[in-house]
């Protein structure tokens, strides 16, 4: 069995390890993943990225169903048959379990690599086109808001109006509006 190198930039990989009965018993007894880390020769810094699956708990779903439903991975027919044929407890270990650093996993009789998968990615959302008549055509830019007249323009307008009123008053006073 050769060792397995994981780069610091790796993400989105799921490795399935078959566990020996001794290692499974130790993991059950201690309740921690330290024994798995020792078996793999690394420190597991993110226990949330490791799932220990007892062989007798999957029922009709099977390990391939767990990988498909839980990790969005569709194993090939051969991989699914191999996963469902395992009779030992397994460890599902994501790349993030090792803290994002480069590590080398030791393979041993206690933890044997069964398969490596790339986790699925959510598909891009499908947008349905709008069918309303209001949604057709191209939007034009909005008209600019009307500019406000400055105070000077208002004063000038009031001065012109006042001059016309003054002219009318002077005309009426000196000349008058009478006909005769």
Highest mean pLDDT among 30-39, 82-91, 145-154: 82-91
Q: Are residues 91 and 168 in the same domain?
A: no
End-of-domain residue from the set 76, 102, 118: 118
Q: Are residues 154 and 88 in the same domain?
A: no
Q: Are residues 102 and 162 in the same domain?
A: no
Total number of domains in the chain: 2
Please state the three-class secondary structure of the chain as a single string: CCCEEECCCCCCEEEEEEECHHHHHHHHHHCCCHHHHHHHCCCCCCHHHEEEECHHHCCCCHHHHHHHHHHCCCCCHHHHHHHHCCCCCEEEEEHHHHCCCCEEECCCCCEEEEEEEECCCCCCCCCCCCCCHHHCCCCCCCCCCCCCCCHHHHHHHHHHHHHHHHHHHHHHHHCCCCCC
Closest CA to 116 of 4, 15, 19, 5: 15
pLDDT (0 to 100) of residue 19:
93
pLDDT tens, residue by residue, 5-45:
888 888 889 999 999 999 988 888 787 898 999 999 898 88
Residue that has been written with the tokens 């069995």 in this structure: 1
pLDDT (0 to 100) of residue 8:
87
Q: Are residues 76 and 159 in the same domain?
A: no
Tell whether the model's pLDDT for residue 152 goes beyond 60.
Answer: yes
Give me the residues paired with residue 5 across strands.
Answer: 104
CB contact set of 80 (below 8 Å; sequence gap of 6+)? 62, 64
Share of the chain above pLDDT 90, in %: 29
Q: In whole angstroms, what is the distance from residue 65 CA to residue 51 CA?
A: 15
- Across residues 146-171, what is the average pLDDT? 87
What is the domain extent for residue 112? 4-118
Q: In whole angstroms, what is the distance from residue 143 CA to residue 91 CA?
A: 64
pLDDT (0 to 100) of residue 147:
73
Residue 143 lies in a domain: no
pLDDT tens, residue by residue, 102-149:
899 888 889 999 999 988 765 566 677 777 777 777 778 888 877 776
pLDDT (0 to 100) of residue 179:
57
pLDDT (0 to 100) of residue 17:
94
Phi, psi of 52 (to 5 degrees): -95, 125
Q: Are residues 92 and 156 in the same domain?
A: no
Residue 136 lies in a domain: no
């Amino acid at each position: 069995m050769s060792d397995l190198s994981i780069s610091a930039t790796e993400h989105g990989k799921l490795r399935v390890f078959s566990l020996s009965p001794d290692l499974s018993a130790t993991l059950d007894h201690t309740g921690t993943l330290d024994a798995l880390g020792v078996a793999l020769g690394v420190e597991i810094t993110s226990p949330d990225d490791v799932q220990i699956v007892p062989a007798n708990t999957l029922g009709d779903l099977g390990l391939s169903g767990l990988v498909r439903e839980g990790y969005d991975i569709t194993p090939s027919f051969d991989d699914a048959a191999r996963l469902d044929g395992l009779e030992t407890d397994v460890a599902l270990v994501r790349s993030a379990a090792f803290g994002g650093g480069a590590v080398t996993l030791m393979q041993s009789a206690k933890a044997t690599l069964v398969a490596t998968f790339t986790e699925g990615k959510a598909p891009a959302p499908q947008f349905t086109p709008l069918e309303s008549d209001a949604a057709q055509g191209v939007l034009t830019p909005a008209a600019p808001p009307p500019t406000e007249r400055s105070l000077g323009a208002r004063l000038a307008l009031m001065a012109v109006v006042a001059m016309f009123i003054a002219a009318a008053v002077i005309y009426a006073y000196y000349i008058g509006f009478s006909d005769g």
